[in-house]
């Protein structure tokens, strides 16, 4: 159980006490995994607290909800405001913010599309997700569990049920002593980690799988692609075989929770000769400075969090 510590959860327009943020045990989302969510981070920057790529996260949340026939109960600007309000109310930094769109009323029956759609937003302290200190790099196992084809479960939507697959792959990798799993797509190409995208570097070129490998189009992935090309590095999105990955010079994971984490081993194969490799390091250097608000070129990626009274929502239902 997480500690309450006077923290608040935003539920359909109201900030409720952490300990009171409950939904019904017969809720549709709990039984069938039909929920959509986001993971977002807020950082302490030189200009005060700020949320990284807020608009892009809210856009993805709305797209995921639309795909799963869940009419959003709030507009995108209202969701952005609600996230800012929840962050301000909790005052945790750095934080990990979790908006969830769900059907929370008792409504069994998988085809039941009638239940009310709700939005909840929670905030928890952000920790280093993979490995203590991202510099050290992590060991990843090629998972025996493959990503379902997007013809079955579309990877672009960040839906709760997708994470059964991530869970199985992650549990298998940790029981085998690895830090993380790398899942292949249904054709056997490298797809992604349980909650991260995968990059590799070979002969100075940065590679990452594209949507045809059944990945979530990560917002960190997009940021890294932009930073890499702005650094003048050739960037290629293509299907990658396991052999290409294990013979790469450098590899790394990207994700909101993980940020950027070098991969030092894939299965029994060491990657490159040092962790992080020089290109990974140059991208990490820019990325982590961006998060602190130190790179004017990418300042637009940070939305300042105003203090509570300024950000409070008006006229919520």
Q: What are the catalytic residues?
A: 158
Closer to ligand PLP by Cβ: residue 134 or 166: 166
The verdict on 275 binding ligand PLP (CB under 6 A) reads no
User: Which residues neighbour 16 within 8 Å (Cβ) at sequence distance 6 or greater?
Assistant: 8, 9, 10
The verdict on 256 binding ligand PLP (CB under 6 A) reads yes
User: Which residues neighbour 193 within 8 Å (Cβ) at sequence distance 6 or greater?
Assistant: 140, 180, 181, 182, 183, 253, 255, 258
Give CB contacts under 8 A, 24+ apart, made by 16-19. Answer: none
Helix 76-90 × helix 54-67 angle, to 10°: 120
Residues 220-249 within binding reach of ligand PLP (CB under 6 A): 220-221
Residues 147-186 within binding reach of ligand PLP (CB under 6 A): 166
* Binding residue for ligand PLP, selected from 101, 216, 246, 266, defined by CB under 6 A: 216
The verdict on 192 binding ligand PLP (CB under 6 A) reads yes
Q: How far is the CB of 310 from ligand PLP (least distance, A)?
A: 28
Q: How far is the CB of 220 from ligand PLP (least distance, A)?
A: 3
* Binding residue for ligand PLP, selected from 196, 214, 250, 265, defined by CB under 6 A: 196
Query: Do β-strands 180-184 and 138-142 pair in parallel, antiparallel, or remain unpaired?
Result: parallel
The closest of 218, 226, 239 to 286, measured between CA atoms, is: 226
Q: How far is the CB of 268 from ligand PLP (least distance, A)?
A: 24
- Collapse the DSSP code of 169 into the 3-class scheme (helix H, G, I; strand E, B; otherwise coil) and give the result: helix
Closer to ligand PLP by Cβ: residue 85 or 180: 180
Stretch of residues binding ligand PLP (CB under 6 A), selected from 2-10, 13-21, 76-84, 218-226? 218-226
* Binding residue for ligand PLP, selected from 195, 262, 277, 293, defined by CB under 6 A: 195
Closer to ligand PLP by Cβ: residue 206 or 219: 219
Q: How many residues bind ligand PLP (CB under 6 A)?
A: 14
Residues 293-312 within binding reach of ligand PLP (CB under 6 A): none
Total number of residues shown for the chain:
317
* Binding residue for ligand PLP, selected from 36, 219, 261, 311, defined by CB under 6 A: 219
C-alpha dist (Å) from residue 84 to 2, 88, 208: 22, 6, 32
Determine contact, residues 230/13, Cβ cutoff 8 Å: no
The closest of 44, 33, 106, 42 to 70, measured between CA atoms, is: 33
Closer to ligand PLP by Cβ: residue 8 or 221: 221
Q: How far is the CB of 313 from ligand PLP (least distance, A)?
A: 25
For residue 36, which phi and psi values (nearest 5 degrees)?
-130, 150
User: Which residues neighbour 22 within 8 Å (Cβ) at sequence distance 6 or greater?
Assistant: none
Binding site for ligand PLP (CB under 6 A): 39, 166, 192, 195-197, 216, 218-221, 254-256
């Amino acid at each position: 159980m997480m500690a309450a510590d006077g923290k608040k959860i935003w539920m359909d327009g109201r900030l409720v006490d952490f300990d009171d943020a409950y939904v019904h045990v017969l809720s549709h989302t709990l039984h069938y995994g039909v929920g959509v969510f986001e993971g977002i981070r807020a950082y302490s920057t030189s200009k005060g607290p700020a949320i990284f790529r807020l608009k892009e996260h809210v856009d993805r949340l709305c797209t995921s909800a639309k795909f799963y026939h869940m009419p959003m109960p709030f507009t995108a600007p209202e969701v952005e405001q609600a996230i800012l309000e929840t962050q301000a109310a909790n005052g945790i930094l750095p934080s990990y913010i979790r908006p969830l769109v769900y059907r929370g009323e008792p409504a069994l029956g998988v085809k039941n599309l009638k239940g009310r759609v709700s939005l909840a937003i929670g905030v928890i302290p952000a920790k280093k997700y993979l490995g203590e200190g991202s510099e050290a790099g992590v060991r990843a196992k090629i998972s025996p569990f493959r990503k379902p084809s997007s013809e079955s479960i579309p990877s672009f939507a960040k839906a709760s049920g997708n994470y059964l697959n991530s869970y199985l792959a992650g549990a298998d990798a940790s029981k085998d002593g690895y830090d993380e799993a790398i899942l292949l797509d249904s054709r056997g190409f490298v797809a992604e980690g349980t909650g991260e995208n995968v990059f590799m570097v070979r002969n100075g070129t940065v590679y990452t799988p594209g949507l045809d490998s059944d990945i979530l189009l990560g917002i960190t992935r997009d940021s890294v692609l932009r930073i890499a090309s702005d650094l003048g590095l050739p960037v290629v999105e293509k299907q990658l075989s396991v052999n290409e990955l294990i013979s790469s010079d450098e590899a790394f994971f990207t994700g909101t929770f993980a940020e950027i984490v070098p991969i030092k081993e894939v299965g029994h194969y060491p990657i490159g000769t040092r962790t992080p490799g020089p290109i990974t390091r140059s991208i990490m250097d820019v990325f982590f400075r961006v998060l602190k608000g130190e790179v004017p070129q990418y300042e637009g990626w940070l939305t300042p969090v105003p203090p509570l009274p300024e950000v409070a929502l008006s006229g919520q239902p």
